[in-house]
Structures are given as C-alpha cells and as structure tokens.
Amino acid sequence: METNAADNSLTRCHQVLEQSRLRTKPGKWLLEGRVGRSYGEFFDRAGRVASCARARGLGVDDRAIIISDDDGTIIEIFFGLIAAGVTAVILNPRGSVDETESLVRAADASLVFVDDGRFSDVDFATLLRNGSPVIRILPPAAQRTRLFARLSGKPNAPLGSSQETYPAMLSPFEPRLATPVEIPDTTTAYILFTSGTTSQPKGVEITHKSLFAQMDTFVRQYRLDESSRILNLLPLQHTDGLTHGAVLSLTCGGTLVRPMRFRVDRLPALLDEIYKSRITHFITVPSMLVLIRQLGRDYEDAFDSDDFQFIISTAAYLDAGLWQSLQESHDVRIVNVYGLTETVCEACYCGPDDESFRIGTVGKPVDCEAKVVDADGTTLAPGQEGELLIKGDNVMKGYFRMPGETENVLRDGWFHTGDIATIDEQGFVTIVGRKKSVIISGGYNIYPEDVTNVLMRMDIITDAVTIGIPDETWGERVVSCVILTDRDAGSASDISEFFLRHAAREKLPRDIYIMDEFPRGPAGKVQLDKLRHRIEQLRQHSAAHRDSESGSVSSVVTDIASSVFKMPVSDLGPDASPDTVSAWNSLAHVEFLMALEVEFGERFTAREIMSISNLGQAVRVLRDKVA
C-alpha cells in the first residue's frame, strides 16, 4: 500500500519525503553554486534508499554509517535510512584513519556508505557487524550523465549496475514508500559522535521524536516556510550543519544554500551570495561574525536585501561587543541561540522577536524547560549562578551504549549541560562559564583529552596537557604543552605533522609549547591555572616586541591623522578614508603622508603612496617599513 501525505500514521520523516514528492512549487532543496538538487530528485533517491535498506533486511535497531564529502548525497542517504527506521551515523570525511576506525567500530553498524577512494586503507568489512557490505559512493559528476539520461528518457534513473556502488545499487528499487514501516518515535534517528579519538567515543543518540520536535521549534521560531533560503556552510557531521541546515530546509520546504566550502579569502564572495541568492537566514558561528567585522565598511551592505531576515549565531559564545557593533554597522539582527548536540541542536533563543531579545544573553528556552541548580541539585533563585539543566522533547535519548555516562548527565528527564548560567526573573538565560573542559574553537567542540591522547601516542612525548585560551577570532584556541624525552627530540612542526596523521585538522593545537616541566600540585596533578599563566607569559613575551611596534605605529598614525584632518582620535579607525573623513582631500592627503615621513624618518615609494587610501593601510605600510 502506498502511503500519502494525509495519512496521520505517517512518521514525520515520511511526511518530509511525501511533502517533497507532492511539491508543486518549483525550487531546489539544495543549491551548491550553480548546481541545484530538486525536491523530486531528493524524494527519488531517499525513497529508493529506504526501499533498498528494507530489502537488505535493515530496520529499527540497525545502524548505517555515511562518510561522504558530498552534502546532497549524505542527506539523501540520511533520510532514506531513517525512513526505513535505520539509525544513521554520519562521520567526518576528513577525519584521520585512526579516528574513523575507532568510530566505525563503536557504531557497530550493518552498512557503510563511503566515498569511492576515501579511506581506502580502512578495512571496513572487519569493523562492521558480520562483515556487512561497504557501499562506495561515486562522485556526483560520475553519478549521472545528464545528457545520456535525458536521451534515454529516464532523467532520474541512476546509471551503473553494481550493487556495491551508490547510486547504482538503487536501480532495482522503486522510489516509493511501499509497505508502511512501524517506526516508534522513540527510535534513534541518528547518532553523532561528540568526541572521537578516545577508546570510548561518545555517540549522542537522537530519536525521531526529538529531531522533529526540534524542527518544529525551528520552523516556528525562525518563521520558515517554502520561500526560506537558508545559508549554512557548517559541516554535516555536526548538528549545526545537519539539523540546523539540511534537515531544516527539507522540513520547511525551503532551500539550503551552500555555495562553497568556506575559506577566509572567500568571505567577500560568500557575503555577496547573500544578496544574489536572496538568502533569508544565515546560520553561522561567532568566528565568522568576527571575520565579517574585519572586512570593514565595504561590506556593511552585505545584509541590505529585502529578503534577508536575520543572522543566527550558534555553536559558541557570542561576545556582546561584537554582537552590538555588527548589528549597528551592518543594520542586521543577530539571533543568538544556545544548545548542544545532546539537545538536538538548540534550546534557548535570543530573538528574533523583541520579547526574547537581550544582547549578552542566550534569550529564553523555547519548547523546553530550563533551570539552574547548585552542586546538590537544588534549584537556584533568579540571578544565582549554577549548572544549567534542560528538559524537553529535544533532549537526547542517551549516549550510545554508555549507560553510566548517560546516567551522569540525564536524571529525571533533565539534561545537565555542564554550562554555568544564570536565569533572571524575566527568564533570560545568561551563560557565564563552563563546567566541562570542552574547548569551543570556531564553532567546533574539541575535548582537550582527545587532543592530549593523540599527542601522547607520539614516541618523543612523555607528557602533554591541552587547554583552551581565549582568542579574538575563534572564540578559543587549542593550546598544547608537551614534555619531550629530550628537549631536542622534535619540534612543534614535527608534532603537528604527527597529529594531522592521527586526528582531524580542526583538533590540531594552534600553539604547541615544548616545556621542561609542568607546574604541579602536591599530589602531582598539573595545576592548570599556573600552566595557563605560564603560557600567557610566553605568548606575551613573543608578541611583546611586535605589539609594541605595531601599537605605537598605529597610535602615532592616528594622532597625525587627527591633527591633519582635524578629527578626534576616537573617530579615526583603520577604515577612516577620504570617503568617511570630510577634511581628507587631496591636499590634506599629501600633508598627512609628509607628516608621517617626517615622524618616522622614512620615505614612501610611489607604490606605497598609491596604496595608502585609508588609515589601516598607512599603518600597515609603515609597520613593514619600520620592521
């Protein structure tokens, strides 16, 4: 019997698939540059994956792993699997071999989909349940020859015949949701691993009920519909890319826009995409907002588009100063949200409505409850600091096969976030610290123990400690201190090289300090406060010379500009230019340059004179000359 959209017995993921099949409004669910994927194609592929999974005897309590670099393929397979009741496990396609082996083993899966040619060193068959099959995913270009498919009159028919390659394996199956499958909403829809390299990876289990409860909240809170166009470049093996992007756009019937893989030098092009692609919601991390601010006034119109509604900042602490200044300079609302992989994605929302919006907070819980408790578990009065607890449909089922760990954080339905917070009388939640040792860098959660464990596997390292220190751009940076068998046994770059062979790049410590010893307490435990202080001293020492030079250059340039252009120093930032300073005419420009030459005893070349068109450039040119 074929199901239909009106059937109330449909599971929510079936509804999403049906909605895609019945969609009449033209549009793509995914736009990657100039290539788009249609809803029809999504239904076709995901429907076939579901039929195929069931034909292979997979269902509730089975798991299948997806390791791919192709976002569209990941989501087709993801939906196909969960529609068949199978639990999807998405792993990092750029993870190290060690990590991947450890996670595949932990997932105890019955099937793996992996990009053709990726992890060819890993013997998946030995890591899967009963030597289950490995499906190789062909690159998107090879998946279909459009012209040939059109000529043959089967535009949606996958090519190929092998049963072990995707999408060829789908050929025998119909893209129908034949035979309704009983999937209780307590079935685990997916597992995301939040820490990777340890011997006991922690996999967060999210049920169908939790996933779609979260989707309902998102759709309502962000006012999403079929016309929504969501820009989200976050990776799909993280909940902020998976649920806050792809699953969300399919649920609301909108379009997910992922025009490029992010690189810092592509930021201007990415911001231009917001206007061009009529983006309505931009979901990103605070580090990206720091970079946007650094682009300066040329891109202040980035969100000046009738379609654009707001930015959603997720995954890390959003500095109130950055938040306020970017909102003012770019005339845009930034909705700050808070949650964890364990709460599907989010729990508290600061905005977009005025009633729940207060800069510096994470707003109020939506469709869940929040409370703050002390160490004894007693609920605290408004304004008092304690651990933040969340309760609601969005809370995870538990950590996969880790009852002890689950017990530690999930009691009476309350999830213990590990974050220290306050809740005021109006219900605004403010995060003030963290109980857990997780480092949040550029939106990635990195567990220091994972980093240390990888470092300790290097022969020359006898001891290692990893901590996070504040960073203006990335929120926090991962810093490792190591003690070597011999002071000259290796360098920081040797250690980095080793690290990258065994763990994902985002976990790589940005700074590695080789030390002779660590500060320790009476019991021999490393004193992290003292270690942090020592790192700070080392950083200050190495940066002192550079900072003193650049700081003084900057202040002298600003003083001179202030006197030549007759403007207060406070109004002269690095972006100050003839366009923003009315007295900066061509005569004042030469006076300014000549005053700089006299002050610094330097002579500008023609190229330098031509390149100075704002204060920041003057500082840069002089800094290079002085250096």
Which residues share a beta bridge with 90? 66
- If binding is defined by CB under 8 A, does position 607 make contact with another protein? yes
Q: Give the footprint of another protein on residues 365-394 (CB under 8 A).
A: none
Instruction: Please identify, using beta-carbon distances, which residue of 146 and 541 lies nearer to another protein.
Output: 146
Q: Give the footprint of another protein on residues 571-590 (CB under 8 A).
A: 585-587, 589-590
- Closest separation in Å from C-beta 586 to another protein: 5
Q: Which of residues 142, 200, 611, 624 is near another protein by CB under 8 A?
A: 611
Instruction: Please identify, using beta-carbon distances, which residue of 374 and 579 lies nearer to another protein.
Output: 579
Q: Which of residues 549, 609, 616, 623 is near another protein by CB under 8 A?
A: 609
- Beta strand 35-38 with 28-32 is antiparallel
- Closest separation in Å from C-beta 169 to another protein: 33
- If binding is defined by CB under 8 A, does position 605 make contact with another protein? yes
Instruction: Please identify, using beta-carbon distances, which residue of 324 and 605 lies nearer to another protein.
Output: 605
Count the helices and strands in the chain (H runs, E runs). 20, 27
- If binding is defined by CB under 8 A, does position 565 make contact with another protein? no
Q: What is the 3-state secondary structure (H, E, C) of 460-509?
A: CEEEEEEEEEEECCCEEEEEEEEEECCCCCCCHHHHHHHHHHHCCHHHCC
Stretch of 275-283, 523-531, 543-551, 555-563 lying at the interface with another protein (CB under 8 A): 275-283
What is the C-alpha to C-alpha distance for residues 2 and 529, in angstroms, rounded to an integer?
A: 63
Q: Give the footprint of another protein on residues 3-22 (CB under 8 A).
A: none
> What is the DSSP secondary-structure string of 511-524?
EEEEES---B-TTS
What are the Cα distances from residue 520, in Å, to 258, 465, 479, 512, 526? 48, 12, 18, 19, 4
Q: Give the residue from 396, 401, 344 showing the smallest Cα distance to 106.
A: 401
Q: Which of residues 6, 9, 24, 34 is near another protein by CB under 8 A?
A: 34
Q: Give the residue from 469, 478, 474, 506 showing the smallest Cα distance to 290.
A: 474
* Alpha carbon 156 to its chain's center: 32
What is the C-alpha to C-alpha distance for residues 558 and 63, in angstroms, rounded to an integer?
A: 61
Q: Give the footprint of another protein on residues 65-84 (CB under 8 A).
A: none
Q: In the structure encoding, which two tokens stand for residue 296, read together?
A: 């300066």
Instruction: Please identify, using beta-carbon distances, which residue of 271 and 440 lies nearer to another protein.
Output: 271
- If binding is defined by CB under 8 A, does position 600 make contact with another protein? no
- Closest separation in Å from C-beta 139 to another protein: 21
Which residues share a beta bridge with 203? 193
Instruction: Please identify, using beta-carbon distances, which residue of 414 and 592 lies nearer to another protein.
Output: 592
Using omega within 30 degrees of 0 as the cis cutoff, is the peptide bond preceding 259 cis?
no
- If binding is defined by CB under 8 A, does position 272 make contact with another protein? yes
- If binding is defined by CB under 8 A, does position 594 make contact with another protein? yes
Stretch of 184-192, 244-252, 311-319, 602-610 lying at the interface with another protein (CB under 8 A): 602-610
Q: Which residues lie closer than 8 Å to 231 by C-beta, 6 or more apart? A: 257, 258, 259, 270, 273, 274, 277, 279, 281, 282, 283, 284
Instruction: Please identify, using beta-carbon distances, which residue of 257 and 514 lies nearer to another protein.
Output: 257
What are the Cα distances from residue 497, in Å, to 101, 485, 501, 508? 20, 18, 7, 9
- Closest separation in Å from C-beta 579 to another protein: 11
Instruction: Please identify, using beta-carbon distances, which residue of 519 and 574 lies nearer to another protein.
Output: 574
- If binding is defined by CB under 8 A, does position 260 make contact with another protein? no
- Closest separation in Å from C-beta 310 to another protein: 19
Stretch of 144-152, 273-281, 446-454, 564-572 lying at the interface with another protein (CB under 8 A): 273-281
Stretch of 55-63, 403-411, 460-468, 598-606 lying at the interface with another protein (CB under 8 A): 598-606
- If binding is defined by CB under 8 A, does position 275 make contact with another protein? yes
What is the C-alpha to C-alpha distance for residues 495 and 475, in angstroms, rounded to an integer?
A: 24
- Closest separation in Å from C-beta 578 to another protein: 9
Q: Are 373 and 387 in contact (CB under 8 A)?
A: yes
What is the C-alpha to C-alpha distance for residues 208 and 519, in angstroms, rounded to an integer?
A: 48
Stretch of 3-11, 266-274, 376-384, 524-532 lying at the interface with another protein (CB under 8 A): 266-274
For 513-542, give one letter per residue: b (16+ CB within 10 A) or e: bbbeebeeeeeeebeeeebbebbeeeeeee
Stretch of 81-89, 384-392, 539-547, 607-615 lying at the interface with another protein (CB under 8 A): 607-615
Instruction: Please identify, using beta-carbon distances, which residue of 230 and 446 lies nearer to another protein.
Output: 230
| Side-chain-side CA neighbours of residue 515 (13 Å) | 19
- Work out the end-to-end distance of the chain between its first and last CA atoms, rounded to an integer number of angstroms: 77
- Closest separation in Å from C-beta 306 to another protein: 8
Instruction: Please identify, using beta-carbon distances, which residue of 357 and 604 lies nearer to another protein.
Output: 604
Q: Which of residues 82, 89, 484, 593 is near another protein by CB under 8 A?
A: 593
Q: Which of residues 591, 602, 616, 625 is near another protein by CB under 8 A?
A: 591
- Closest separation in Å from C-beta 573 to another protein: 20
Helix (H) or strand (E) holding 179: none
- Closest separation in Å from C-beta 104 to another protein: 40
- If binding is defined by CB under 8 A, does position 606 make contact with another protein? yes
Q: Which of residues 154, 220, 261, 276 is near another protein by CB under 8 A?
A: 276
- Closest separation in Å from C-beta 623 to another protein: 15
Q: Which residues lie closer than 8 Å to 74 by C-beta, 6 or more apart? A: 66, 68, 90, 236, 246
- Closest separation in Å from C-beta 270 to another protein: 10
Q: Name the one residue in this structure whose structure tokens are 């989707």.
A: 215
Q: In the structure encoding, which two tokens stand for residue 464, read together?
A: 């290692």
- Closest separation in Å from C-beta 626 to another protein: 19
- Closest separation in Å from C-beta 40 to another protein: 20
- If binding is defined by CB under 8 A, does position 610 make contact with another protein? yes
Instruction: Please identify, using beta-carbon distances, which residue of 269 and 432 lies nearer to another protein.
Output: 269
- Closest separation in Å from C-beta 602 to another protein: 13
- Beta strand 134-137 with 165-166 is parallel
Q: Which of residues 55, 125, 260, 269 is near another protein by CB under 8 A?
A: 269
Q: Measured on CA atoms in the order 616, 620, 623, 625, is the torsion positive or negative? A: negative
Q: Are 5 and 22 in contact (CB under 8 A)?
A: yes
Q: Are 132 and 110 in contact (CB under 8 A)?
A: yes
What is the C-alpha to C-alpha distance for residues 187 and 205, in angstroms, rounded to an integer?
A: 9
DSSP letter at 35 equals E
Contact residues: another protein, CB under 8 A: 34, 268-269, 272-273, 275-278, 585-587, 589-591, 593-594, 604-607, 609-611
